[in-house]
Amino acid sequence: MSEVAKITLDGETHEFPVVVGTENEKAIDISKLRGTTGYVTLDPGFKNTGSTKSAITFLNGEDGILRYRGYPIEQLAEKASFLEVAYLLIYGELPTKIQLETFENEITRHTLVHEDMKTLLRAFPAGAHPMGVAASLIVSLSTFYPESQDPNRNKEALNLTIIRLLAKLPTIAAWAYKFSKRHPVVYPKNKYNYVENFLNMMFQLPTEDYEVNPIVSKALNTLLILHADHEQNCSTSTVRIVGSSHANLYASISAGISALWGPLHGGANQAVIEMLEAIKADGGNIDKWIAKAKDKNDPFRLMGFGHRVYKNFDPRATIIKKAADDVLSSLGIDDPVLDIAKQIEEIALKDEYFVKRGLYPNVDFYSGIIYRAIGIPTEMFTVMFAIGRLPGWIAQWKEMLEDKAPIGRPRQIYTGPNKRDYVEIEKR
C-alpha cells in the first residue's frame, strides 16, 4: 500500500497521499488540504514546498548532485555544447547530429533583431543597466511577433518563439551593453557558433573581427551549461508563475530576467566583484571583512558564499573552480582583485563560522572571477547568467504549459487589523 501522511486537526485525523519521485524524493500531497480541513500551510520562501512535479532537473543539495534530464552536470560540462544542452532541456533528449545541426542553423538564422529595436535602445540613458534593458527588450519582442501572444496557438508557433528567444537574447545582451556605452553595435555573424558570436558582438574591434580565443570560448560554453537550469529557483518559479496565467513566453522570460537581477540570486556574481573591489579599495584587509560577514549586527554578507539548497558543496562550483584556475593560468592574468578572491576563499573554507553553516563559495563566486578574467564588464555578469539560464526557463515554462498547470496563486495568513469603520479625514 502506498504511504500516507496523517494530519490531526481539531481532533480529527486526515490522510494525505505521499508522492515519491524517481530519485525517491518524497512529498506530502496537500493539494486537497484546504478543501478537506479549511487549513492552509505556511512556508515563507517555500523552503519546504514543492510547487510542481518536474522531469527536467534533479538536484540533491545534501549530496551535491545536479543532473539535467538524468545526465550528470559533470559529463555535460565536459563534453557537450551549450546548444546541445539547451536542446536536451527543452525537448527532453540529447539531439542526434542532424537534430543538433538543424537546431543550430535555425538559431543562427534568427540572431538578428528588428532594426526598430534600436529606437527602443536609444531611449535608454547612457549607462543603463543591461539587465533592465534586456528585460525590457525581451518583453517587447512579443509586440514584434504578435503571434506569440497566445501560447496555446500551435506547436510550430511556440517553437519559433523558442528559437527566436535563444537566438536573440545574446544579440540583445551585447547591444544593451554597447548602447549603454554609446558605442556602435556589432551585428551577429553566421560564421561563428553561439558563444563565439556573442564574444564577437562584445569584443569586435573597429578594424577586425574578434579572434576567437579557444580558452575563453570553452570557459564561456562551460559557464553557460552550468547555469542552464537549476529546478525551481526564484527566477524559474517566477517564469512558471507568470506563464501560469498564460502570459506569452517573452513576457514570462522577461519576468525571469527581472527576478534573476537581485543580488541574492543571479545578481550575486556582479556583487562578488563589487565586494572584492570594495575590499581592495579599503586596503585589502581581508580579516576585517570576514569579521564583518560573521558579525550578526552587521548586514554585510560574503557575496558568492552560501546557497539555499547546497549546504555541503555546489557541484557546479567544483567544475567552475577548475575552469577559473585554467583560465587564470592560461591567460596569465595578474589581477589584485582576483588575488583577494583567492585569499577569501582560502580563509572562509577553514573558518568555523562558514564551515558550521555550510557556507561554501557558490557558482557566482567563481563565475564572477572568470567573467572578469575574460574581459566581460561587471554590469554584464548577471546578463551572462540570464543567457545561460534561458533554456532552463523555456523548458520549465513549456513543461508547465504541457502539464496544464493551474494558475499560480498562493494563499496567505492575514495578520492585519480586523474590520473597522472608515473615519472622515477631519476626524483623524
Q: Which is nearer to ligand ACO, 170 or 266 (CB)?
A: 266
Minimum Å gap between C-beta 232 and ligand ACO is 12
**Which residue of the set 307, 314, 339, 421 is catalytic?**
307
Min separation Cβ 158 and ligand ACO, Å:
28
Site residues (CB under 6 A) for ligand ACO? 264-266, 268, 293, 301-308, 357, 359, 362-364
Q: CB-wise, 107 or 359, nearer to ligand ACO?
A: 359
**Which H or E run includes 223?**
helix 214-227
Active-site annotation holds for 110: no
The conformation of residue 51, written as its DSSP 8-state character, comes to: -
Residue 72 has a CB neighbour count (10 Å cut-off) of 14
Grid coordinates belonging to 363: 557558482
Q: Does residue 171 sit in helix, strand or coil?
A: helix
CB of 414 to ligand ACO, least distance (A): 24
How far apart CA 372 and CA 302 sit, in angstroms, is 18
Closest CB to ligand ACO belongs to which residue?
Answer: 306
Catalytic: which of 351, 364, 403, 421?
Answer: 364
Q: Judged by CB, which is closer to ligand ACO: 256, or 266?
A: 266
Q: Which amino acid is at 402?
A: E
Alpha-carbon distance of 114 to 301, in angstroms, equals 42
Angle at CA of residue 381, ends 76 and 208, nearest 5°: 90
Cα distance between residue 100 and residue 91, in whole Å: 12
364 is catalytic: yes
> What burial class does residue 215 get, using C-beta atoms within 10 Å of its C-beta: 0-12 exposed, 13-18 middle, 19+ buried?
middle
Q: Are strands 71-72 and 65-68 parallel, antiparallel or unpaired?
A: antiparallel
The Cα 349–Cα 272 span in angstroms is: 16
Nearer to ligand ACO, 364 or 399 (CB): 364
CA distances from 422 to 34, 222, 229, 416, 419 (A): 32, 60, 50, 15, 10
List the catalytic residues.
Answer: 307, 364
